[in-house]
Amino acid sequence: MFRQLKLLAESVVRLLYSRQELLLENLALRQQLAALKRRRPKPRLSALDKVFWVMARRFWSDWKQALVLVTPETVVRWHRAGFRLYWAWLSRHQICSGRKRISNELRELIFRMVADNPTWGAPRIHGELQMLGIDLSERTVSRWVQRAPRDPEPAKQWLTFLQNHREAIAAMDFFTVPTLTFGVLYCFFIIAHDRRRILHFNVTSTPTSAWVVQQLREAFPYKSPHKHLIFDRDTKFSLEVVAAVKAMGGKPTRTSFRSPWQNGIAERWVGSCRRDLLDHVIVFSSRHLKRLLADYVRYYHEDRTHLGLEKQTPGKRPKTITTPHSQVVAQPRLGGLHHRYDLAA
């Protein structure tokens, strides 16, 4: 009785439907009936059935009321799966979108203009390209101008200049070392730029300008063989130190404020000393530190190879010829922190 009343009510409601809505509902019900008639234990919807309901969802607002086999959420899931498949297909087939990609020939032309005209900027190069009838935005030209390879010739010229003058350059600096009793010791050193040799070093707990002048006198007892002596703007390098350098025949050269890279040779030696030795030991006193530094300077000059010296040592360590029957022995340095390898006698 209840089913009959429900059927009667639905029939009355359908009398109010338009002809188009009735045709769409009839088509949806027939499609589901065709799926139920398939001879299978469980009716399954094919790919065409899924496409049908996805299209019905798009063009029919009352599509949910005619669904029997599946739920509306399932149809929404089919639609999203189709959305993913569509965009995956687009990405696989590399359909171009957005800005037009410039050709390699045009990019090489921009690079050539940058190399031929070092003073030109992106607007000038963009103007030349427009005169050639090339349609390209100035922003794109600016981006490729920034990526253009620079001429290495100026760098080579500076490298040659420094190699020709490094024999006349030396540098001095301080670095600190903590002690066992939580004190601080100051290590002073002078390094030559030509072979990275340590010309002089000493240790103190109270560095002063007078003490630095005395170290200069011990390092250069007669006259400084280096024309330029580089140091930073530490207060310990006062006018008294500058006058002492000038009296020895050298030219004092201060670095700029907060520019340790201008004294790079000295800074690199400090880093090597810390990594090779000081980061692995605890210093007891100034005497202990001075002995450690003496051992390290000996190892640094005679055993340690340097990339800046074409993998040679500052003391020009002789090379040996190894034969198939040669035996290599290890000689410990700095208490076993490092080793030197030679052929057995």
The two structure tokens encoding residue 330: 């290890």
> How far apart (Å, rounded) are the C-alpha atoms in residues 217 and 220?
5
CATH 3.30.420.10 corresponds to the domain 162-309: yes
Backbone angles phi, psi at 176, to 5 degrees: -105, 150
Contacts of residue 97, Cβ cutoff 8 Å, sequence gap at least 6: none
Question: Which position has the higher pLDDT, 191 or 158?
Answer: 191
pLDDT, one tens digit per residue, over 155-176 is 566 566 667 778 899 999 999 9
Average pLDDT over all residues of the chain: 82
CA angle, 40 as apex, 37 and 42 as ends, to 5°?
A: 95
- For residue range 54-97, list pLDDT tens digits in order: 777 676 666 665 565 566 677 677 778 888 888 888 777 665 55
The whole-angstrom separation of Cα 287 and Cα 248 is 29
Is the distance from CB of 207 to CB of 174 less than 8 angstroms? yes
> Strands, DSSP E only, in 267-318?
none
Contacts of 305 (CB under 8 A, 6+ apart): 311, 312, 313, 317
